Amino acid sequence: MPLSSPPLLPTDPQHFAGRHVLVTGASRGIGWAVAKAFAAAGASLSLVGRDAASLQQRAAEITGPQNSATLQNSVRAFAADVADEAAIGKAINDAQAAQGPLDILVNNAGFGASKPFAKMDTGHWREMLNVNLDGVFFATRAAIPGLLSRPQARVITIASTAGLTGYGYVAAYCAAKHGAVGLMRALAREYAKRDITFNAVCPGYVDTEMTETSIRTIVEKTGRSREQALAELTAGNPQGRLVKPEEVAATVLWLAMPAAGAVTGQAIAVAGGEVM
Ligand code: NAP
C-alpha cells in the first residue's frame, strides 16, 4: 500500500483547545495561514489587522457552516494598527476581556519596502521601524501581564531572513527585523525562569501579497517580466522557490507546542537554506 504524505500541520481539533491565540496581520498571507492552522487545531483566536471588514470575513470563514460541526472554537476580530501604541494596546485588552488571557501572541503584522540608502528619507525609516519593530514592542508589552498568568505561554514573532543577514536596498526593513529578533532574544533571557518562551521565525520570500508587491516593483522599475522578477527573488533560495505560508505556520505551531518548551531566544529560518 503506498504511503500517503502526513499532514503538514496538526489536524487534531483538540491540540490547542482552551488556548487563546492572538495573531496580528491575520487577514491574509502568513498571518492568515497561522490563524487557520491554530483554528484547525482547536485554539480560540483573536484576529488583528487594520481592516475590520476583511478580519470579520476571515473570522466568518473559520466559524462558517462547513467548519462549525468540527470546530467549537471562538474567533473574534479586533481592528488595530500595530504601529499605534494606544490602538494595539486597546485591541489586546479587548481581546482578553472577550476571550480570557492570552496564551500565545503571534507578532506577524509587518511590511517591507525598498529604497537606496542615500535616498532614504526619515519618513521611510520611521515607517519601517514603526510597523516592524515598534509594533512588536507595543503588542508584546501589552500582552505580557496576561501571558505571564498562563502556563506554557508563547511569543512568536515573524521576523525575516532580513533579521539575520543584510540585503541591499532594504536597510530600514533589515534594521527593524534585526531589532525584532534582538527583542525576542532579550526577552527570552529576561523571562527565562517564567513559563514563557520568545522566538522569531525568519522566512525567506513567501508566496504572499507582500512578495507580489515586490515583484510588481521590480517589473515597474526594471522593465523585466514577471517571470524574470520572480526568478530574481527565488535565486537566493537554494531550493529555488517561494516558501509556502503554511510552511511558516507549521514552524509557528511547533514553537507553540509544549514539546518546544526548551526552545527560546531562537531565530529560526524558514527559507530553503537561504541563510545558514
Ligand atoms: P501580507 O500578505 O502583506 O499581509 C500582511 C498582513 O498584516 C495583513 O493582514 C495586513 O492587513 C496586516 N498589516 C499590515 N500592516 C499592519 C499594521 N500596521 N497593523 C496591523 N496589521 C497590519 O504580508 P505577509 O507576506 O503575510 O507578511 C507577514 C509578515 O511576514 C510581515 O511581518 C513580513 O515582514 C514577514 N515576512 C514576509 C515575507 C514575504 O516574503 N512575504 C518574508 C519574510 C518575512 P491590513 O493591511 O488590513 O492591516
Distance CA 139, CA 85 (A): 8
Task: Ligand 1: list residues with CB < 6 Å.
Answer: 24-31, 49-51, 54, 81-83, 108-112, 131, 158, 160, 203, 205-206, 208-211
Task: For ligand 1, pick from 184, 208, 215, 233 the residue to mutate: most ligand atoms within 8 Å of CB.
Answer: 208
Task: For ligand 1, pick from 48, 160, 210 the residue to mutate: most ligand atoms within 8 Å of CB.
Answer: 210
Please identify which residue in the block is written with the cell numbers 485554539. Answer: 43
pLDDT of 70 reads: 52
pLDDT of 12 reads: 78
pLDDT in tens, 5-40: 667 666 677 889 999 999 999 999 999 999 999 999
Please identify which residue in the block is written with the cell numbers 526577552. Answer: 187
pLDDT in tens, 143-170: 999 999 999 999 999 999 999 999 999 9
pLDDT of 10 reads: 67
Cβ pair 232, 194 in contact under 8 A: no
Q: What is the pTM of this model?
A: 0.96
Tell me what the mean pLDDT of segment 198-209 comes to.
98
Give the architecture (CATH level 2) of 20-112+121-204+245-260.
Answer: 3-Layer(aba) Sandwich (3.40)
pLDDT in tens, 236-262: 999 999 999 999 999 999 999 999 999
Classify 78 as helix, strand or coil: strand
CA of 32 to the centre of ligand 1 (A): 10
| Catalytic annotation, residues | 173
Ligand 1 nearest atom to the CA of residue 109, by list position? 7
Residue 71 reports pLDDT greater than 60: no
Distance CA 70, CA 163 (A): 38
Tell me the pLDDT of the chain averaged across its residues: 94
pLDDT of 1 reads: 46
Tell me what the mean pLDDT of segment 57-77 comes to.
79
Task: Detail the DSSP E strand segments found in the chain.
Answer: 20-24, 44-49, 75-79, 104-107, 153-158, 196-203, 267-270
CA of 2 to the centre of ligand 1 (A): 39
Residue 67 reports pLDDT greater than 70: no
Q: Domain limits of the chain?
A: 20-112+121-204+245-260, 206-242
pLDDT of 157 reads: 99
Q: Which DSSP letter does residue 132 get?
A: I
